[in-house]
Structure 1
Amino acid sequence: MTVPCRTQNFICVLFFCFLDVENIINISQFLRNMLSKKKLVIDFYTRMMNKMYSIFGDMPFIKQYWPFILTGFLCYLSTRIFYSKYASQDKKKDIINSTYQTPDEIAEISENNSDDTQNDENEECDDDYQPSLPSDLEHIPLNYDRISIDETIDRSNEFYNFMNLRRTVRHFSQEDVPIEVIRNIIRTAGTAPSGAHTEPWTYVVVHNMEIKKQIREIIEAEEEINYKKRMGKQWTTDLKPLKTNWIKEYLTDAPYLILLFKQLFSFKNGVKRMHYYNEISVCLSAGLLMTAVHYAGLVSLTSTPLNCGPALRTLLNRPSNEKLVLLLPVGYPAEKCLVPDLQRKDLSEYTIEML
């Protein structure tokens, strides 16, 4: 029986249309396995030809042009194989090169977007804005006593030498510290400047051992995942000389844990108050905190627990507008405490002077 050419063309179209992606992948895998062995190539070719003749033997169009049809099919198959290969490689590169975001950062972005939308709506509806600070805020003379140039030089050099002794410590004594010292340290941190004087920081002081144990459990569980999966080979390799891992004894050894949260916004008299430059303001406050810790004769460690923010915020019963920035154990160093023999950059390496 001879099949009309139009019918033959229609059958060819159907043949390619009904080859879904899964079948194509299976065929491509079969072809790669077959072509990897030279002896099987001839057997495959022979079986393929016999199969083609048995199926299309009564179709003169296909019988005549089957080499072109087969060539087109193989070209299509090869294109799909190479496309799948390079697409997967590009996807891996995008994952590697993409900036990692913690749950806190993702939540903050979505909250900021919603805040922007609300601000736009408010701007359209209400043109009467009131400042967060009193409109009639009084300005007073600066309390300032000028010192001599020589004393200025001496003080600056003395303070540098003092701060140059500050070191990050991971081994703490369990000896207690008077709470008044910690309060004075945080008072000092609270003198930092902030955007529009919003003072967007919350300091949570933890002395209770049970809470410190819960904090340690949360952080060590996440840090193990960070070291094994999230941080990558280069990051963990850079940390090896510092001899750090996901075990954090200092979280329960240090008498105090100070957790610093940034406030994205607050409410005053029922009115939402935006906190401008909250990240920078909180970092400035943290710098003063570390300086005050050192000045008080104590030691600390600046810790940024990756992926622990939401769990710690829940544990400490903090509102959703607060995001964890830093965790600092504070106390005395352990006896025979060792620190890495690090050398700081020379001034010329990080300063550009235009005199």
Structure 2
Amino acid sequence: MIFDLAKKRKTTRIFLNEKVNIEDIKYAINVAKEAPSGMNSQPWHFVIVDDEKLKEKIRKSVEEKEKIFYEKSKGKLKDFLNEYNITWQKSFLTEAPYLILVYSDKRFPFSKESTWISVGYLLLALEEKGLSSLTYTPPNPQDFNFSTYKLEVIIPVGHGNDPKPKLKRKDLNEIISYNKI
């Protein structure tokens, strides 16, 4: 069942303009909090945003920095962005009914690694509830930090309307070695 969820889950940048059940998002965060963490510190914090003005403020802040990032991009990254029509404009930040800002608590060792494990749990739980998502790492995460918390990722959540298929994954035997270090 987890394998089926993982095979089905894809990045979505286009969302339908319809609300989703907040209880489904809280369920997914409840799953995410069960992830393992260094020293059992559970160094994550989740901020749910559905306020339109705040989503617009977040979008404006990141797009200013994204323009600069895209202008400087080159090589394989630039080719990828062009091939998949990914631009500095981040409309998904205002189109998705919810944003989940995921933070790690810098006071704990392995906080970043532990928090990203919880993000993996979160993504599969959202998929289980039939919700689409995207792991968006803004170019200016420090602008959203507070107290001892560092922003790791913004996850737009909603019902997807992205016609693009899931990108192909590597074959299992391409990523496994035995007794080889």
Fold match (TM-score > 0.5): yes
TM-superposition CA deviations, 1:140-160 (whole Å, max 9, x none): xxxxxxxxxxxxxxxxxx432
Q: What secondary structure is seen at the aligned counterpart in 1 of 2:119?
A: helix
Question: What amino acid maps onto 2:111 in structure 1?
Answer: N
Question: Structure 2 vs 1, CA of residues 340 and 228 (structure 1 numbering), >3 Å: closer, same or farther?
Answer: farther
2:118 match: secondary structure: helix
The aligned amino acid for 2:87 is N
Residues 265-291 of structure 1: per-residue CA shift (max 9 Å, x gap) = 1xxxxxxxxx12111101111100111
Determine if contact 1:300/1:330 at 8 Å carries over to the other structure.
yes
Match of 1:283 among 111, 116, 133: 116
Does residue 330 of the first structure (1) align with residue 157 of the second (2)? Answer: yes
Aligned residue in 1 for 2:27: 184
SS for the counterpart of 1:338 is coil
Whether 1:302 aligns to 2:132 is no
Determine if contact 2:50/2:99 at 8 Å carries over to the other structure: yes
**Structure 2 residue runs without a partner (length 5+):** none
> Helix, strand or coil: the match of 2:8?
coil
Please report how far the alpha carbon of residue 353 of structure 1 lies from its aligned counterpart in structure 2 after TM superposition. Answer: 3.5
Q: Write the mapping of 1:1-355 to structure 2, written as runs, cut at 5 A.
A: 158-229=1-72, 231-265=73-107, 275-306=108-139, 308-313=140-145, 318-319=146-147, 321-334=148-161, 337-340=162-165, 342-354=167-179
**Alignment partner, residue 21 of structure 1:** none
Higher helix proportion (structure 1 or 2): 1
The one-character-per-residue Cα deviations of 1:48-102 (angstroms, maximum 9, x if unpaired) are xxxxxxxxxxxxxxxxxxxxxxxxxxxxxxxxxxxxxxxxxxxxxxxxxxxxxxx
- Larger RCO of the pair (alpha carbons < 8 Å, separation 6+): 2
Mean CA deviation greater in 200-209 or 158-167: 158-167
Structure 1: distance between partners of 2:5 and 2:157: 18
Contact 2:98/2:157 (<8 A) preserved: yes
Distance in 2 between the 1:294 and 1:179 partners? 14
CA 1:178/1:340 → structure 2, altered by over 3 Å: closer, same or farther?
A: closer
Contact 1:301–1:330 (Cα < 8 Å) also in 2: yes
With normalisation by structure 2, the TM-score equals 0.93
In the alignment of these two chains, the number of paired residues is 179
Larger radius of gyration: 1
SS at match of 1:164: helix
In structure 1, list runs of 5 or more residues that go unmatched: 1-157, 266-274
